[in-house]
């Protein structure tokens, strides 16, 4: 059981370039999330989705876009990379948004924008 899979693990982008961070889960979870983690800081929510076709903004959505065409996949798009987007990005999923279920995280994508 793979859980939450993120690709790539590492990436270096030049300012102004675009890329998509991939996230796939095989647990049939409805809820999926994208977080970023800056050094010495807690994780901050970028976007989340409560099911296929439904997405919403989190705390720090500027500079990012998402889509959710299937239950399994939740890609994060950076359109014009900026140095402020240098961070570690984590994708997570949960069965529901309610009390009984915790979150499962992917292993992260370390992005550097130069």
Partner 1 sequence: KQEVTQIPAALSVPEGENLVLNCSFTDSAIYNLQWFRQDPGKGLTSLLLIQSSQREQTSGRLNASLDKSSGRSTLYIAASQPGDSATYLCAVHDYKLSFGAGTTVTVRA
Enumerate binding residues for partner 1 (CB under 8 A). 33, 35, 40-45, 48, 58, 90, 92, 97-100, 102-108, 110
Strands (E), 30-113: 31-37, 43-51, 54-57, 64-66, 76-78, 87-94, 104-105, 109-113
- HSE on the CB side for 112, CA within 13 Å? 4
Residues with Cβ within 8 Å of residue 38, at least 6 apart in sequence: 44, 87, 88
How far apart are CB 60 and partner 1 at their closest, in Å? 12
Which CB atom, from 40 or from 62, has the smaller least distance to partner 1?
A: 40
Which CB atom, from 85 or from 109, has the smaller least distance to partner 1?
A: 109
Which CB atom, from 73 or from 105, has the smaller least distance to partner 1?
A: 105
How far apart are CB 79 and partner 1 at their closest, in Å? 24
How far apart are CB 16 and partner 1 at their closest, in Å? 27
User: How open is the CA angle 12-5-69, to the nearest 5 degrees?
Assistant: 95
How far apart are CB 67 and partner 1 at their closest, in Å? 19
The neighbour count for residue 48, using CB atoms within 10 Å, is 22
Which CB atom, from 15 or from 101, has the smaller least distance to partner 1?
A: 101
């Amino acid at each position: 059981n793979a859980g939450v899979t993120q690709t790539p693990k590492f990436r270096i982008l030049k300012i102004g370039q675009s890329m998509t961070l991939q996230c796939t889960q095989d647990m049939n979870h409805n809820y999926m999330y994208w977080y970023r983690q800056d050094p010495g800081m807690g994780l901050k929510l970028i976007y989340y989705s409560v099911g296929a076709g439904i997405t919403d903004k989190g705390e720090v959505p500027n500079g990012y876009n998402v889509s959710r065409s299937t239950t399994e996949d939740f890609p994060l798009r950076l359109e014009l990379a900026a140095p402020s987007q240098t961070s570690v990005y984590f994708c997570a999923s949960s069965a529901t948004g309610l009390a009984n279920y915790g979150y499962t995280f992917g292993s992260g994508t370390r992005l550097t924008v130069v």
